[in-house]
Amino acid sequence: MNLVLKEFNGICIRRWKESDAFDYAELVNDPDVMRYIGNGKTRDATTAASEISKFQNEIDGQGWSRFAVSMGAEGPLLGYTGFARKDYGIDFGMRFLRSYWGHPSTYISSCLALEYGFTEVGFPSICAITRNNHFRCVSYLKKLFSIEPADGEIDSTAYKMFHITHEHYINTQMENNRKSMHKQPSIQKERDERETSSPYFPKPQTIFPNPAHI
């Protein structure tokens, strides 16, 4: 069973590993990361471990869920991207450690997940929602989907909802995303440093100094 499900320029979407638990617990315990997610509350390490187990069980059982994102198969966790079944359809979501906001891995892994969902899983359509006041995420999803969102409401909270069909993605957006992936800044130098000096991938704030909250 392959660990890596899809890869581009060293960025992987992959299955979850036990060693991801610490980084994922850090991610969901960060108030800035969780601000626009659900009720906005942080989560503890026990909840984080339970979520990882759920994600991996879904990948094993149905071939998809929220995928772990890393630099190389054995690199530490950067965050996740992928899918969940919701009342409104197949939901696309992504969440990354704050240190990686603005890093090319966020956009590349999101493109990889969408391509995997449409070409490998065969989803007829995919949705993504974000709060109206989460302006960076709205802008990010417009680029990723190349569509305008519809207005909606969930539990009295105003949301923007993006909906992309299999036909639109295959005929238009897949090629657009691939071109955008090739335009992302090179990460080869970072990969070389990780492989030659340390098993831990260096945090990229000094390389990409303008993180975006996505």
The predicted structure's pLDDT at residue 187: 56
Looking at residue 20, its amino acid is D
Confidence of residue 168 (pLDDT cuts 50, 70, 90): confident
The whole-number average pLDDT for the span 117-133 is 94
- Mean pLDDT score across all residues of the chain: 85
Residue 65 lies in a domain: yes
The predicted structure's pLDDT at residue 207: 31
CB contact at 8 A, 39 and 32: no
Residue 205 lies in a domain: no
Structure tokens at 61: 């059982």
The predicted structure's pLDDT at residue 176: 77
Residue 15 has pLDDT above 70, yes or no: yes
Residue 166 has pLDDT above 50, yes or no: yes
Residue 56 lies in a domain: yes
Residue 201 lies in a domain: no
Which residues fall within 8 angstroms of residue 38, CB to CB, at 6 or more apart?
none
CB contact at 8 A, 134 and 75: no
Confidence of residue 183 (pLDDT cuts 50, 70, 90): confident
Domain count within the chain: 1
> 119 vs 16, 122, 167, 190, CA distance in Å?
21, 5, 11, 30
Of the candidates 64, 68, 51, which has an alpha carbon nearest to the alpha carbon of residue 11? Answer: 68
Rounded to whole angstroms, the Cα distance separating 207 from 198 reads 18
Looking at residue 172, its amino acid is T
Residue 21 lies in a domain: yes
First-residue to last-residue Cα distance in the chain: 31
The predicted structure's pLDDT at residue 129: 93
Give the tens place of pLDDT for each residue, 72-96. 999 999 999 999 999 999 999 999 9
CB contact at 8 A, 201 and 76: yes
Residue 12 lies in a domain: yes
Q: What is the CATH number of the domain that holds 55?
A: 3.40.630.30
> 96 vs 20, 100, 105, 116, CA distance in Å?
13, 6, 10, 19
CB contact at 8 A, 170 and 118: yes
Residue 131 lies in a domain: yes
Looking at residue 187, its amino acid is I
Quote the domain boundaries for residue 160.
Answer: 4-184
CB contact at 8 A, 33 and 95: yes
Give the tens place of pLDDT for each residue, 17-56. 999 999 999 999 999 999 988 888 999 999 999 999 999 9
The whole-number average pLDDT for the span 122-138 is 93
The predicted structure's pLDDT at residue 146: 84
Burial 68-97 (b: 16+ CB within 10 A, else e): bbbbbebbbbbbbbbbeeeeebbbbbbbbb
Residue 154 lies in a domain: yes
Mapping DSSP onto H, E and C, the string for 127-187 reads: EEEEECCCHHHHHHHHHHHCCCCEEEEECCEEEEEEEEEHHHHHHHHHHHHHHHHHCCCCC
